[in-house]
Amino acid sequence: MGPIEILWLAIVVFFVLIAFVRGYTRELGVTTIIFGALFLITFFLQTYLPRFITFITGELSIQVTERQLQHFYSIFYSLLFLVIVFWAYAGETLTFQGKQPKGAAGFVLNLLVGLLNGVLVASTLWYFQDFYKYPAADFKNAAGQPILMTLPLTPTAQALVPMLPAHAIPPIFWGGMMLLMLIGRVRK
């Protein structure tokens, strides 16, 4: 597999294309849900789930290594986040009021909201890998070559990691942004 920043960029482009098809008013609803998912996971789950897992494994006398827990948390949070994003796109979606402008203004609005959603989704998945020390790099084929990811990161990726939104922005921000977006959605 190639550098993680190339995968990250591909995901961002994919979400930009989705935004052009759906329009910014529907994409802002997804942005709101992404903010909520980030708040739920980074503010609550990353704080309380490890405590719960430690309690349960202690009570049941289950022996788990730190690396096994890193794999579990990375996969669990990534899947939970992806399921929430999928739900935000599926079925009846949260749509903001407004009329899709024609021409360059509509193009720019769709582009910006698509970029925001793409960056949030791609960087959040990358964040889970980074926070738990890249468990995807542990998967190797019979010859011992990495299947999903190669470490060390490229210099570009190493420079981007501190700028990932979930690293750079405090978790409470996501809850505040979700609240502001919901207020913006319901105001007349």
Encode pLDDT of 166-176 as tens digits: 999 999 999 99
What pLDDT sits at residue 186? 79
Give mean pLDDT, residues 142-159.
Answer: 88
Give mean pLDDT, residues 41-47.
Answer: 96
Dihedral, CA of residue 84, residue 89, residue 94 and residue 98, to nearest 10: 140
Average pLDDT, the chain: 91
Which of 54, 45, 137, 111 has the alpha carbon at shortest distance from 84?
A: 45
What's the pLDDT band for 11 if we cut at 50, 70, 90? very high
Residue-range domain boundaries for the chain? 4-186
Give mean pLDDT, residues 4-13.
Answer: 93
pLDDT beyond 80 at 187? no
Q: What is the pTM of this model?
A: 0.91
Give mean pLDDT, residues 40-65.
Answer: 94
pLDDT beyond 90 at 103? no
Cβ–Cβ under 8 Å, residues 85 and 30: yes
CA 84 → CA 30, 37, 81, 161, distances in Å?
10, 7, 5, 23
Above pLDDT 70, what percent of the chain? 98
